[in-house]
Amino acid sequence: MTAPSRRSVLAGLAAAGFGPTAQAAEGAAFGFETVEQQAKALAQAPYDASIPPLPPALAALDYDAWRDIRFKPGKAYLGERGGPFRLQLFHRGFLYPRPVAVNLVHDGVASPIAYSPDLFDFGRNTLAAPLPADLGFAGIRVHYPLNKPNLLDELIVFVGASYFRFLGRDQLYGLSARGIALGTDGDAEEFPSFRAFWIELPPKDADALTFHALLDGPSLTGAYRFVVHPGEQTTVAVTATLYPRRVLDRLGIAPLTSMFFIGEAERGHVDDYRPELHDSDGLQIAAGSGEWLWRPLDNPKSRRISSFGDRNPKGFGLMQRDRAFEDYQDLEAGYERRPSYFVETDGAWGQGSVVLVELPTDNETADNIVAFWRPAKPYAPGEPVRLSYHVRSTLDGGLHPNARVLNTFVAKTAASGASREAQPDPAVRLKQRFLIDFTGGDLGHYLPDPAAIEVVASTTVGTIVATSITPNPHIRGFRAAVDVALDAPGATELRAYLRSGGRALSETWSYPWTAA
């Protein structure tokens, strides 16, 4: 028997009420199960990568021209009941040619939002010909009185593939989340897209917004439910059911995407007056064992992929810990106000790895950091994959009660002020000193008695030559020094944490080092 065509499946879906503007079956209220049924049926057909062509005027838009097409605030949806949320839509064009269907769900009944140019202010753009009535939209965004009770701020945005980002109070956009990642650490990454959204009309006193989305890509389809809880730390509860079209062995669950250009540890490749430039400066992992791990991010010379094996992880995130303007000295970008995203898992995720991908970049405009969970077991067609987790947007890095890493510095093991030879001994290149600032937790209690603290350090290759601990009253913590030596050029993974009387006082610092 031949596989059904995508056209025949879509025709059947439409006939049954599960087209791009899916309704529930006769007599049944629309819900997450409605989207699950549509995603399951869609996975039975081959993926169709074709995109309806844009009118030439829209296809030729550059970034600034596309941004000049703005949704009219007075046309926003969701305010019918006087609730605090407002829905706006993005126009197709520029990097967003694929149409996205948008629906409103009122008392269990889904109704499509029809495209109309009257919804938009086109700014300086001039369109000679009328736009088609079935043009569709590029994405959605929701506004909410996040920072002031009488001012609607942008709360969450979905535009482009499966990307989304959201804000808590007093935050500025930085990193992004994604619905799914495929092949991110391989040679050919795949970008499935959200093809349709269903937004539930909230009641007047709503403190959360629920909406659903249909994902479609060459390797899988998916049904998603998002529940957004705005606040000082906005959280998004994600429920998803994935339907593989092929064996998924390079799946990335709950992916986060960020930028790291300059940090305090390595500045030799950059000439910039700003001390640091990054949307995130570290990967935080809450392991299933209870250990908290911190991996500082890097702008490597070549692609670096790190894998942290675990079973039933409690969470992971890309964090921004440097929170002072002096860390960045950028009057416009506001890096100190860019949020951290931390993924908190629901239920048992089993065996797998948190994967960190770091790519080289020569500027701060390119996202070069990705983190996600990769299950150890591949998923096969016919086996639905059910997931649930929360993503928290926060300015507070205090996710656990122990001390945390504030800074990481890299130095030579030679004493400060020692002379440097014109042709240094090659053995020197096989030695390195790492200085790690720990702050918070109970460290303030130990400042008068640093001898009570032990630096526990390890390396996968080579030898830990020496460790030391020095009080750092400027951060009410300690600076640990770890000297490592390799026998030959190569790579190693370092770890260090603080301990007293057999009790861990800090999270575990993890760092990759390559001696050339």
pLDDT of residue 271: 83
Mean pLDDT across 232-236: 98
Residues 388 and 408 in one domain: no
* The predicted structure's pLDDT at residue 126: 86
Long-range contacts made by residues 459-464, C-beta under 8 angstroms, separation at least 24?
A: 459/484, 459/492, 459/493, 459/494, 459/495, 460/492, 460/493, 461/486, 461/490, 461/491, 461/492, 461/493, 462/430, 462/486, 462/487, 462/492
**SS3 assignment for 310-370:** EECCCEEEEECCCCCHHHCCCCCCCHHHCCEEEEEECCCCCEEEEEEEECCCCCCCCCCEE
* One domain, residues 389 and 425: no
What pLDDT score was predicted for residue 140? 98
Per-residue pLDDT of 368-380, as tens digits, reads 999 999 999 999 9
Res. 2: pLDDT tops 70: no
Tell me the residue range of the domain where 239 lies: 13-128+135-394
The Cα 263–Cα 248 span in angstroms is: 35
Q: Tell me the pLDDT band of 188, cut-offs 50, 70 and 90.
A: confident
Are the C-beta atoms of 153 and 141 separated by less than 8 Å?
A: no
Q: What pLDDT, in 10s, does the model give residues 48-59?
A: 999 999 998 899
Where does the pLDDT of residue 327 fall: very low under 50, low under 70, confident under 90, or very high at 90 and above? very high
Is a pLDDT exceeding 80 seen at residue 460?
A: yes
Mean pLDDT of 413-427: 51
Which of 149-163, 420-434, 468-482 comes out lowest in average pLDDT? Answer: 420-434
User: What letters, b where the CB count within 10 A reaches 16 and e where it falls short, cover 49-79?
Assistant: eeeeebbebbeebeeebbeebebeeeebbbe
Q: Which of 254, 200, 257, 192 is nearest to 227 (CA)?
A: 200
**Do 464 and 333 share a domain, yes or no?**
no
Are residues 374 and 449 located together in one domain of the fold? no
Same domain, 356 and 425: no
Residue 7 falls inside a structural domain:
no
Residue 255 lies in a domain: yes
Average pLDDT over residues 470-485: 97
Q: Which of 394, 418, 446 is the last residue of a domain?
A: 394
pLDDT for 414: 61
pLDDT tops 90 at residue 13: no
Task: Report the CATH number at residue 314.
Answer: 2.70.98.10
Alpha carbons 366 and 372: distance in angstroms, whole number? 18
439: domain CATH number is 2.60.40.10
In the chain, what percentage of residues exceed pLDDT 70? 91
- Has residue 8 been placed in a domain? no
If asked whether residues 380 and 408 sit together in one domain, one would say no
Res 20 pLDDT > 50: no
Tell me whether residue 468 is in a domain: yes
- Write down the pTM of the prediction: 0.92
Q: What is the mean pLDDT of residues 125-147?
A: 92
* Residue 173 and residue 303 in one domain: yes
Please state, in angstroms and rounded to a whole number, the distance separating the CA atoms of residues 145 and 132: 34
Instruction: Classify residue 4: in a domain, yes or no.
Output: no
Note whether 333 and 482 are same-domain residues.
Answer: no
Q: Which residues of 277-302 are buried (b: 16+ CB within 10 A; e: fewer)?
A: bbbbbbbbbbbbeeebbbbbbbbbee
In a domain, 197, yes or no: yes
Residues 110 and 156 in one domain: yes
The structural domain count of the chain equals 2
Q: Which of 394, 423, 456 is the endpoint of a domain? A: 394
Q: What percent of the chain has pLDDT over 90?
A: 84
pLDDT, tens digit (0-9, with 9 covering 90-100), for 21-65: 455 555 579 999 999 999 999 999 999 999 999 998 899 999 999
In the prediction, which pLDDT does 397 show?
Answer: 83
437 falls within a domain = yes
Helix (H, G, I), strand (E, B) or coil at 397: coil
Mean pLDDT of the region 108-136: 92
Residue 253 lies in a domain: yes
pLDDT of residue 413: 77
Among the ranges given (212-216, 256-260, 270-274, 398-402), the one the predictor scored with the smallest mean pLDDT:
270-274
**More confident site: 426 or 358:** 358
267 and 302 share one domain: yes
Tell whether 298 and 337 lie within a shared domain.
yes
> Of the candidates 394, 412, 429, which is a domain's last residue?
394
Same domain flag for 301 and 439: no
Helix (H) or strand (E) holding 58: helix 56-59
| pLDDT for the residue 25 | 54
pLDDT of the residue at 267: 65
pLDDT of residue 254: 99
